[in-house]
Structures are given as C-alpha cells and as structure tokens.
Amino acid sequence: MNLPELRFNDVVITSQEINQAYRKLKIFNNKKIKTMLVILKNATSVLTPTEIENILGSDANGFSQSSVSQNLAKMRSLKMVKNSRKAKNKYYKIDPVGLKEIESLNAKVGLKTLRALRHVLRAGMVNMLAALPGMTTTDLFIAFKLEQSVCSLHLGILRRAGIVFSKKNGKNREYFVSIENLKTIADAINKESVLV
C-alpha cells in the first residue's frame, strides 16, 4: 500500500519526502555510523578507510574494511562526509554543512516521529483529523473499520510522537492534529528534500 500525502492547511508532505527523511535519520542514528563520525570529527587530518578501520579495532567491534567502506559510502550519499582521491587512496573528512543539516533534521523531527508517519493507517488518521478535528476514538475506528484496540494503539503512537494530542470531553477523548508540530516537520523535511 502506498503512503498517502499528509495534507493540512496549505501544507503538503509527500510520502517520498517522509521516506527520504526517514532513510537519512535511520542511517545517521546507526551506531557504527555514529562511531565513525566521532572518529572523523576528532581527526586532525583526512583519513583513509584503512586508517578508520585501524582506529576502530576491526572485527572486535563488528567493523571490517568492507563495512567501513559501505558506511562511508552511505555517509557520503547523505553529504555527511566528503572524500578526495590521492594516488590510489580515498581520503575522507567531515562535511560540516551536510552533517549540520542532518543533525538539524534529527533534532527537529527525530526517527520516532518519522516512523509514526510512515504507516498508511496512521497517515490516514492524521489526514482525517486534520480535516475533521475533534474526532473520538469511536469515530476513527468506525471510519477506518478497525477494532477499537487497534485504533487506540495507532493513536497512542501518534500522540507519543507529538503528531496528535487529545482533550477529554465528558466521557469521550477528542483527538486533534498538532499543526505546529506538523509545520515544523514539513519545514525540516522540505528543507532536506531541496538539498537531495
């Protein structure tokens, strides 16, 4: 199933933008990538993959020449590092502009929020709540033909991610889209997608 676009007010976030941002943050938050970023940040000069592997301690930490090279390629595709070639060797260093952009996206949006938005049902719920604010869990599980527990589970994920919030109205709990948070997400994602 394709993920629907998120639409609210005059803002649209496409599924491609969400998936691209999610992929970036998933790579950025990888433990091996984080370790390699620390090494490159602390390096006084450019480093080859072999030098990075030697610093990491190779197989003891799950790093090999090929995994170092693969992770450097991922980092380069996301503009976290730059490389240059001298003779037969490739040398790597941090790309401060590209790294800052990804760090900013991570700080403003976060992996948990994007993971919440990457689900077809949850994206549909966000669109419905944007169009019809104040719907209850009952309204939503009837509209989506779900079990009440499944609907509550997905609403909980969206609530914990800061995408929706609820207000108690008598016995019912009404749900609303956090427009400010979605605008922040849209701004961060759209800024990132321009750079790709």
In the structure, how many helices (H) and strands (E) does the chain have?
10, 7
- Give me the domains of the chain, ranges plus CATH numbers: 6-13+110-195 (1.10.10.10), 24-103 (1.10.10.10)
Phi and psi of 97, rounded to 5°? -70, -50
Q: Which amino acid appears at position 35 of this protein?
A: T
User: pLDDT tens for residues 56-98?
Assistant: 875 556 777 788 989 999 999 999 999 999 888 899 999 999 9
Residue 85 to residue 107: CA distance in whole angstroms: 33
Helix (H, G, I), strand (E, B) or coil at 47: strand
User: What would the mean pLDDT of 126-153 be, rounded to a whole number?
Assistant: 95
Q: Which of the 8 DSSP states describes residue 92?
A: E
Q: Which amino acid appears at position 46 of this protein?
A: V
Residue 146 to residue 33: CA distance in whole angstroms: 39
Evaluate if residue 192 carries a pLDDT over 80.
no
**pTM for this one?**
0.82
Find the Cα–Cα–Cα–Cα dihedral 122, 128, 130, 135, rounded to 10°: -100
Contacts of 96 (CB under 8 A, 6+ apart): none
Q: If you average pLDDT over every residue of the chain, what do you get?
A: 89
User: pLDDT tens for residues 23-57?
Assistant: 999 999 999 899 999 999 999 899 999 898 888 87
Predicted confidence at residue 174, as pLDDT, reads: 96
